[in-house]
Amino acid sequence: MNLAIMMNGLPGAMGREIASAAIRREGVTLAPFALTGAGMGGEVEVDGVTVRLYEPSEKEECARLAKEAYPEAGSLVCIDFTHPTAVNGNAEWYGANRLPFVMGTTGGDRDALFGVTRESGTYAVIAPNMAKQIVALQAALEQMASDFGGSFEGYALSVVESHQSTKADTSGTAKAVSTSLAKLTNEPDFTADDYAQIQRVRDTDEQLAGGGSSHRGCSPVPEAFLGGHAFHTYALTSADGNVEFQFRHNVCGRSTYAEGSVDAAVFLAKRVGAAAEQRVYDMVDVLKMGGI
């Protein structure tokens, strides 16, 4: 296949990681232009490829370039790892210009994100986590919650998530997994107040020591990965404290998310090229439909 990826989120660390993964992938190239944040315009080089970065005020010029350079359906997919505050505006831009996109950025108004994407008819993969292995675990927990809802009734759920200090919002994966686990404890109606109870660890000293205020905290983070990691601990504890179940996933670095993001883009390009009836997907769809 011949696919170009527009990496919106450069020169950020996640953007660089995905751009490198795209360059390594056979049949995939990195588009020489992309969106960036205000005041971040200019050029950036990734593994020998120079990318011109367009600020929000230059969005329309970037869209024009994209349509002229990649007119064939499925020849260009945008990957978005920007900032939570940019999610909805970027989604509207993708929709208005019919640019297929993979949305890895978490936060923003998610209902509005899905709404504007479906209304525009744009092809998209929208997911809070692009790591295929974590997504598979998450799907298994969702199935477990569906099959055995209430089986942990009376147990208390605690969640601790540790990410690099630059991550602005609570992990979307932590929210999604918490929702499934809450069904097991027979508390299926998770609200924003419940999400607020998820313990976010962003202090580096606390991360090095094993983030969290109790024995249910995250594992100690290796110093080399303070700038890029995702350590999550989910604990279900009986009312008397005598029984505890834990689920953990500890990810150092960003490569697993980068490779999954490129997989999602390749998957989406094929759906666009085939004019598939379904337009909006998540990473479970990517896994189930052979996008691995």
Which amino acid makes up residue 233?
T
Q: Pairing between strand 33-35 and 49-54? A: parallel
Q: Which two tokens stand for residue 248?
A: 């953990």
Which residue among 132, 167, 183, 232 is the active-site one? 167
Angle of helix 255-273 relative to helix 13-24, nearest 10 degrees, comes to 60
Q: In a 3-state reduction of DSSP, which class is residue 6?
A: strand
- 249 catalytically annotated: no
Rg (CA), the chain: 20
SS (H, E, C) 13-64: HHHHHHHHHHHHCCCEEECCEEECCCCCCEEEEECCEEEEEECHHHHHHHHH
Q: Pairing between strand 199-201 and 156-163? A: parallel
Check: CB of residue 4 under 8 Å from CB of residue 30: yes
Which residue among 163, 175, 183, 229 is the active-site one? 163
- 163 catalytically annotated: yes
Query: Under 8 Å CB-to-CB from 268, ≥6 apart: which residues?
Result: 77, 100, 101, 102, 123, 124, 125, 281
Check: CB of residue 243 under 8 Å from CB of residue 256: no
Residues with catalytic function:
163, 167
